[in-house]
Each structure stands twice: as C-alpha cells, then as structure tokens.
Amino acid sequence: MFGTISEEIEVPVPANEAWKIYSTIQLANIIVKEHPNIVHKVDILEGDGGVGSVLKVTFPPGTPLLTSHIEKFIVVDEEKRVKIAQVVEGGLLDLGFILYKVKFEVIEKDKETCITKTTIEYEVKEEEAANASFVSIQPFVAIMNLVAKRLTQGKDGRSYA
C-alpha cells in the first residue's frame, strides 16, 4: 500500500530566508529545543547536514511503538529549495513500512512571501496495511508553524533566523 500526505503554510518572509533553516541541520536543533514532544534528540552519525548525511532521531520517552530511527538526507537541492529525508533503519520500517520519506519544500510566492510544504511519502506491506494509520502530517505542520513563528518573530517582522 502506497500513500502520500502533504500540507503547506504561507510564511511572510522571503523564500531564501526560510530555506536557511530548512536546508541545514539547524532545523533539527530547533525542533529538539522547541518541540521536545516531537523529537527528543538528534545525533549526526555522518555528514554535515548535506546530501548523504545520516541522523539518528530519538523520539520522546513514551512515544507509542517508536523509540528511534535512522534517516538519510537523499536530496538537498539549493536551487529548487527541496530537502528529502528517508528513513533507512528502525522506526516505521520496524512496523512493516518499506518506504518512509519526508520532503520539505520552500516555494517562493513573491519577494516577501513563501510557502513551506511538507510531503510524506510511504509504502507499507499489504499484510501490515493497518499500520498506515501511524502516518501523520500533524507533527510536521507543528514544525512548519514553529519555523514560521521563529522567522517572523521580531518587532519589525524582519528578524529572520
């Protein structure tokens, strides 16, 4: 069984400013600091946040069925402002998933506004199809809102990260 879910939000900052967060490991650091209920810890196992980087993502204690997973950045496209992470070990792969990818996109709407979009792409074995219910875009919507808030906080609306 194959599926995709996506959500997007409009952010009143230039796309290149939003991309500065989404394109780097800074995103993981912000999530751990500001949303420890989503991600407890991130360890960089290989790389510097670019293509080929491997991270161990540890979920908060008490997260049902999931303790951690290892993900690899398979795309970091500066021109298109697209970053894709694929789970390569643990996590949902232990629950019958064959594929689990998360794509972040920063799309320029105009000079002062962008759209951040997150897409989850997954495939789960037919005999484990009920586990597709574990896929949720909501943590990523919370992350996009957190980044948007961080980018726009400031007296003049120009206090970018």
Segments of the chain scoring below 50 in pLDDT: 155-161
Strand intervals (E) in 2-156: 2-11, 41-46, 54-58, 68-77, 82-90, 97-110, 113-124
Give the model's pLDDT for residue 22: 95
Q: Tell me: the pLDDT tens digits for 97-116? A: 999 999 999 999 999 999 99
Q: What are the residue numbers of the active site? A: 83
Q: What is the pTM of this model?
A: 0.91
